[in-house]
Amino acid sequence: MATSTTPFRSHHSFNHRSSTSSPSLSRLVQRTVSAPFSHRDFKLNAVVGNGICGVLYKWVNYGRGWRPRWFTLHHGVLSYYKVHGPHIQTHSKIIGKQSFRHISTVHHGHPKPLIQLHLMVCSVEESKSDERRFCVYTGMKKRLYLRAECKEDRETWVEAMLAVKDMFPRLSNVPEESVVISTDRLRQLLLKEGVNESIIKESEDIMKGELSRVINHNNFLLMDTLHHLETDKVDLENALIESQRQHSKDDVVSYLSAHENLSEGSASDSHEDGRDEFFDTLSISSDRSSESHSQGSSLDSENEETSSNGKYEEWLIECVESNYPHVRRRKKLPDPVEKEAGISLWSIIKDNIGKDLTKVCLPVTFNEPLSSLQKCFEDLEYSYLLDQAYAWGKMGNSLMRMLHVAAFAVSGYACTHGRSCKPFNPLLGETYEADYPDKGLRFISEKVSHHPMIVACHCEGRGWKFWGDSNLKSKFWGRSIQVDPVGVLTLKFDDGEVFQWSKVTTAIYNLILGKLYCDHYGTMRIEGNGEYSCKIKFKEQSIIEKTPHKVQGVVEDNKGRTVATLHGKWDESLNYGIVESSGKGKGSNVSSKEHQLWKKSNPSEYQTRYNFTQFATTLNEITPGLREKLPPTDSRLRPDQRYLENGEYEKANAEKLRLEQKQRQARKMQEMGWKPRWFAMDKESHTYSYVGGYWEAREKEKWETCHDIFANSSTTP
């Protein structure tokens, strides 16, 4: 009698125990039966061999952009490590020229990967806008954006990943011929008992149907178990991360104050080093920061690994992917030529108490090698917040736009922490330009009035424009300096939404005794033509205040209802919480968990007495080829400021005295009808706005209308 066989759509053997237990991924893979040999198998052996490895650029976030990581693909698992960390030397195929340059730095050891994910639960998609980019979608519907060195390298990686995926097909796509079920023994037994052939055939059909239902049910249970394992793994990771963060938070709280309400994910967050993370080979880990589950912070944290907000993330990547030239900027100031000499404070103080600070002739050592024009641009260090605000508005989220604008307004004060020196007072007509293509910024500022002293600025970014003028009224009170800014800052997005605000009061204390420190206090109001407004209070530091530099604010809608709260420190970070109605009656609101909007960048590794940030260190730099393009009025060409930066204090004092004597003629020039070159006053609002033409003149290098305001110096720095 012929043997009756029936194929079933399964690669696996099932029993009651396997359907109820939680099989590990390794046992699952071991039980996987390879599909018939195909062209993809040949591609897998030809390209992958024992695995592939190499350098790929991974998108971290907007602040850090693309970062090189060492990726390995082995046994169906994609892993990556720090490029400069220890890597295991294997027989894997190396992809990319950049990868070979890192082989010499490979150390022996067993490093812990930052991320591991199994391609069985992932999908791979190539970018249509960039021939080097591709994306890995994980089992948790998150994205890992990657970029190869060239198109060919991307094709190799994608082909290898797709080939590996075919080794681990979904259970619903298992070939029919993989498992064969025989009914020969049953047929022989029934024939021996004299059962009719038709009854035997009917019995076989019943058995096959029942067995098919059992196998399909077990298949479903297995996949459901795998999904539960994946969910449990992510929950465990989040619990471990939360526990570690809470432990660090408790340490900070006990040091500062038992009552300080620190937000999660701030200073205690570690960088992307994988030290305390829990990963397995089933799928990509959850985001390092708990804030990643909120739309508002999906890209702000440096620790962010993946994002579920694909539209927003793609927009930011496209911004970074613009074909802007990379400008290599310095990381430290020049070493001083001379040793700084001491000064007599008493002789200066007793002659200048109560005078306007702009009229006080102070030694150059009281200054920092930046002008007030350059300080205006320093407020734009965190301009990416405006890029993000523009993106949120484009997606119709006006509240998140307002929150990011508020974060930008606060972030401009972060650079003032530890900065006690006075910027140079610009000469009438002095200008400063900043062209930062990597940030998408073009900035121009000019001193437009000598008395009162007013500087005006204009900046163009990605989808927005920012401008304003500031009349700094300063007083020297012997033990402190007080600066009250007078003027309005305006931000306008390309879609027409406008925001306006003014700065708060700044003071520098302990000029005679004690340690110098800077503080900001007052209320900042951000208003515009949209549906939300914001009020932020900078709390003044006091003797009994244990946590200085605090800021608190609220965002209100057009009806005056509070929809969000802000909390943080102007020199550290800013967090927000969405206020939702609890439904328990009028005035009963519940604030959601706080999420981080902004965090201060790490300090420069090359510290000087000026306490410059890494960004501030670049502001007075003349990069190669820049001097020929600058007008003679640019602050970088100011001799006393350049001498101070170089540490030539004697020459700097002489030049500062000469330029201040020359500046005393500026008031007479202004009274005779002098007009700014690049800005003009609006007669209705009495504010200065940019009239255009600067960048066109720069491109042609035609500065005939600009006077050499620093001329007649005895020497040139």
Cβ neighbors of 458 (< 8 A, separation 6 or more) are 443, 444, 445, 465, 466, 467, 679, 689, 690
Q: Which residues, 6+ apart, have CB-to-CB distance to 673 below 8 Å?
A: none
User: Which DSSP string corresponds to 470-531?
Assistant: EEEEEEE-SSEEEEEEE--EEEEETTS-EEEE---EEEEE-SSSS--EEEEEEEEEEEESSS
Closest CA to 448 of 465, 434, 467: 467
What's the rounded Cα separation, in Å, for the pair 604 and 614?
5
DSSP 632: T
Class of residue 197 by CB neighbours under 10 A (exposed 0-12, middle 13-18, buried 19+):
exposed
What is the CA 608 to chain-centroid distance, rounded? Answer: 26
- The string over 535-566, giving b where at least 16 C-beta atoms fall within 10 Å of a residue's C-beta and e elsewhere, is bbbbbebeeeeeeebbbebbbbbeeeeebbbb
Rg (CA), the chain: 33
Task: Specify the long-range contacts of residues 524-527, CB closer than 8 Å, at least 24 apart.
Answer: 524/409, 524/410, 524/553, 525/501, 526/402, 526/405, 526/406, 526/409, 526/499, 526/500, 526/501, 527/499, 527/500, 527/501
pLDDT of residue 507: 85
Query: What pLDDT score does 224 carry?
Result: 59
Please give the domain boundaries of the chain with CATH numbers for all domains. Answer: 40-167 (2.30.29.30), 326-700 (2.40.160.120)
- pLDDT by 10-residue block (mean), the chain, 717 residues: 41 37 37 38 52 86 77 84 58 73 55 76 83 81 83 89 73 47 78 82 80 71 61 56 51 38 33 34 33 34 43 58 67 88 59 60 85 95 94 92 96 89 91 92 94 92 93 75 87 96 87 77 94 95 78 94 94 92 52 85 88 94 93 96 94 90 78 89 88 94 90 56
Q: What is the pLDDT of residue 562?
A: 94
Q: Which amino acid is at 427?
A: L
- Token pair, residue 155, equals 């094709």
Quickly count: other Cβ atoms within 10 Å of residue 218's Cβ: 20
Has this prediction a pTM greater than 0.85?
Answer: no
pLDDT at 312: 56
Do 488 and 468 touch, CB atoms closer than 8 A? yes
Those residues with Cβ within 8 angstroms of residue 227's Cβ, 6 or more apart along the chain or in another chain = none
Model pLDDT, residue 596: 92
Task: Decide: 374 and 415 in contact? Cβ < 8 Å.
Answer: no
